[in-house]
Amino acid sequence: MSRIQSIAPQNCKRCKAPDSMFIDDDRRLTCRLCGWKVSISVEAEADAPQGGSAQGGSAQGGSAQGGSAQGGSAQGGSAQGQSPRDRYVVSYGMIHPDKVDSWTRAKYESGLDAVQRDDIATAIDSFHKALEGDRDFLDAHLWLARLQDDPELKRKHYGAIVAYLPNHEEALRELMVLNGQMTPEEASRSASGLDPIARRADVPVQTDAEAIRCEQCGSGDMDIVEGEPFATCNTCGYQTRIEKAGYGLKSLSMALVKQRGKAIKWDVGERFLQCESCSAQRTLPPTTLNTRCPFCGSSQVIERDALDSFIQPDGIVPFMISREEAGDAIREALNSRVERLKGIFMNNKVERGQLTPMYLPFWYFDVILDVRRTITRKGGENSYSRMRAPAVMSETISEAESNLPIPGFSSPERDLIRRLGRFELSAVRPYDARILGKTSAELYTLDWEAASLEARGHVSRLMRQQYGQEPFSDTTISVTPLIHQMQFRLVLCPVWIANMIEADGDLRVGLIHGQTGRAVLGRARQPD
């Protein structure tokens, strides 16, 4: 990622109002007082390539030897009048992971020869014959997907590749174009191999929000009871059925391909919100996911901003611990033997405190990997006083890690969250904004890309701990984790936050697990 370039705050050049500019839905700097607009010149799409060459066709994130895409277009072999031999590097290497019999390979190489001659009909026929010898032959699928114009045939052959090689970039990219998840221009930019330009928005960004209110009485006080398919208004009792939304995992490889298709990756600070109920305007901090209007009291949940700088949660884990139970748990923690012992040396008695329910964002990852382990037993002397060569044994073990949590926030502290324990995802529900009518929720500050790197490091350490133990003093073990596939989702998890003031004026934070009721206490600190 390149150095972050900033869009400096500007005063309106028409009405001269200070700090009145924000980024509107049309992605232009706009004065909230007089409406004057100006383009964000540094956002020009010319900063990012529209075409360019691609080193696509990669398997497992690298370059495929079976031929790499030159354009990344999903328009078939005749796209833009280009010859396939001009759009793709014709290589006689293969991405197929298994051994291929000589007859199948001969038909495949005949097809490549035909591509070199621009004899597309013969090439397609040869690749089909190669599939008759081995229906899972990935290189034949790859070239048939490239050469044919029928979207359904392209989807079929690229899909066969992704089924075996989930990280194959060209197949992922072209499937996303065919499925409407990327534009051809984004696919071309993604294939260029260039990272998006990092930009910081130093002015508030226009934000759209969903107003949470009862359809009958207009109240924003709505609850969803665990196990019930309704949102219930606590004012008039009216119930609204909640649609069962999907709660699926996202492919990390597809997300990375899509991310590279963007010209700009935005770092957004404050967001600008206009209340749907009373039209009051105000700015929100970057971690706010839902808010209550201070003028009319309506509850609103942030859906998107003008720069599409964040994604919505996929699921939410309901609270199972009431306020009374959370209060009992924190009082029990404060009266523990350790806390009473501390009280001998310091005045840690809590004078007053406040309990706040909060949904915190967690990234959950599912990881599929191989662990390559090499065990080397040192050589020694035999009965003939000759040195024995070291004995080496290698093995590959298939492994998987499910629901690995990575906190998407920096506060509360990671140590407190770790001590709090994991959340049980069997209770997760598809995300519905109405659940957040009166309970605060945080927007993530650690994005999925950074979280995935943390998850990779965690899985690698876990595998080395599990398989790297040396059973004998004369052995050494080398462990290499090879991650094949990662999927992720964003889940809001329930935590009660206790903010306390001790008798000596120190501030202290405690957390209560919203499912189990487990309470943990942070260290006391002097107020800032």
Three state DSSP letters for 132-147: HHCCCCHHHHHHHHHH
State the pLDDT at residue 347. 64
Can you state the angle between helices 252-260 and 169-178, rounded to 10 degrees?
80
Q: Phi and psi (nearest 5°) for 117?
A: -90, 0
CA dist 134 to 99, 104, 115, Å?
Answer: 11, 7, 20
Distance CA 88, CA 49 (A): 19
CATH number at residue 106: 1.25.40.10
- β-bridge mates for residue 302, sequence order: 209
Instruction: Identify the domain boundary among 279, 310, 341.
Output: 310
Q: Phi and psi (nearest 5°) for 2?
A: -75, 170
Does any domain span residue 337?
no
Instruction: Identify the domain boundary among 310, 345, 379.
Output: 310
Note whether 196 and 260 are within 8 A (CB).
Answer: yes
Instruction: For residues 157 and 226, state if they share a domain.
Output: no
State the pLDDT at residue 362. 97
State the pLDDT at residue 76. 40
Instruction: For residues 205 and 185, state if they share a domain.
Output: no
Tens-digit pLDDT profile for the chain (528 aa)? 445 566 655 688 889 888 888 999 888 888 988 988 888 754 433 343 443 333 333 333 333 334 433 344 444 434 445 677 677 878 888 888 889 999 999 999 999 999 999 999 999 999 999 999 999 999 999 999 999 999 999 999 999 999 989 889 999 999 999 999 999 999 999 988 888 888 888 889 999 988 777 778 877 666 666 556 677 777 888 887 765 555 678 889 999 999 888 888 888 989 999 887 788 888 999 899 998 888 877 788 899 999 999 999 999 998 999 999 999 999 999 888 777 766 665 666 777 889 999 999 999 999 999 999 998 877 655 545 455 556 778 899 999 999 999 999 998 999 999 999 999 998 888 888 877 867 899 999 999 999 999 999 999 999 999 998 876 677 888 899 999 999 999 999 999 999 998 888 888 999 999 999 999 998 888 887
Distance CA 78, CA 83 (A): 6
State the pLDDT at residue 45. 39
Instruction: For residues 230 and 152, state if they share a domain.
Output: no
Q: Which residues contact 205 (CB under 8 A, 6 or more apart)?
A: 22, 23, 268, 270, 271, 272, 305, 306, 307, 309
Does any domain span residue 257?
yes
Does any domain span residue 415?
no
Pull the structure tokens for residue 318: 């309901």
CA dist 82 to 79, 113, 120, 145, 182, Å?
Answer: 6, 17, 12, 16, 22
Distance CA 266, CA 400 (A): 33
Note whether 525 and 287 are within 8 A (CB).
Answer: no
Instruction: For residues 135 and 173, state if they share a domain.
Output: yes
State the pLDDT at residue 439. 86
Q: Phi and psi (nearest 5°) for 502?
A: -85, 170
Looking at the 3D structure of the chain, how many domains does it have? 2
Does any domain span residue 372?
no
Domain with 184 in it: 79-191
| Full DSSP string of 272-335 | EEE-TTT--EEEE-TTBSEEE-TTT--EEEEEEETT------SEEPPP-S-HHHHHHHHHHHHT
State the pLDDT at residue 20. 87
Reduced to 3 states (helix: H, G, I; strand: E, B; else coil), residue 378 is coil
State the pLDDT at residue 300. 86
State the pLDDT at residue 226. 55
Instruction: For residues 207 and 301, state if they share a domain.
Output: yes
Instruction: For residues 136 and 169, state if they share a domain.
Output: yes
Reduced to 3 states (helix: H, G, I; strand: E, B; else coil), residue 353 is strand
State the pLDDT at residue 16. 87
CA-wise closest residue to 258 among 196, 199, 165, 166: 196
Distance CA 16, CA 313 (A): 40
Pull the structure tokens for residue 172: 């992922």
Does any domain span residue 213?
yes
State the pLDDT at residue 73. 46
Note whether 167 and 186 are within 8 A (CB).
Answer: no
Q: Report CA dihedral (315, 320, 323, 327) to the nearest 10 degrees.
A: -120
CA dist 242 to 197, 223, 234, Å?
Answer: 39, 11, 16
Instruction: For residues 271 and 167, state if they share a domain.
Output: no
Can you state the angle between helices 151-164 and 138-147, rounded to 10 degrees?
150
Instruction: For residues 186 and 83, state if they share a domain.
Output: yes
- Per the listing, tokens 């599939």 go with 131
Say how many CA atoms lie within 13 Å of 363 toward its Cβ: 27
Instruction: For residues 31 and 111, state if they share a domain.
Output: no
Alpha helices in 402-521 (DSSP H): 414-420, 448-467
Angle value at C-alpha 239, between 215 and 246, nearest 5 degrees: 95
CA-wise closest residue to 315 among 491, 106, 470: 491
Instruction: Identify the domain boundary among 295, 310, 325.
Output: 310
Q: Which residues contact 267 (CB under 8 A, 6 or more apart)?
A: 4, 198, 199, 200, 201, 309
Instruction: For residues 115 and 83, state if they share a domain.
Output: yes
Distance CA 108, CA 88 (A): 16
Instruction: For residues 128 and 148, state if they share a domain.
Output: yes
Instruction: For residues 110 and 214, state if they share a domain.
Output: no
